Structure 1
Amino acid sequence: MAAAKATGYCVKCKEKVDIKGAKEVTMKNGRNAMSGTCPKCETKVFCFVKG
């Protein structure tokens, strides 16, 4: 997972951005996701990971 850039949708900027400070988290239902911040506006960005 570290080799690929994590991208997510920033609701504030209304565009897809590379997640800054991305870390993999596991949701309470067992699904994997990436969480971090938008490099432009510092808003929290979240995306689900396939697999």
Structure 2
Amino acid sequence: MPSRLADAFRSYRARRAYREAARALEAMDDHLLKDIGIARSQIWSAIKNSR
């Protein structure tokens, strides 16, 4: 049982980290995104592939 709780907590923290990263990238202007090599339409895929 504790393992399920730990897994759920890890999953929650991972989703939260994804959302925080997305918010940070979405707050950047297009020029800055271009400087780091991603387009606005690529934000979510860049986050998911960053692991």
Q: TM-score range, shorter-chain basis? A: under 0.3
- Structure 1 or 2: more helix by fraction: 2
Larger-gyration structure (1/2): 2
TM-score of the superposition, structure 2-length normalised? 0.22
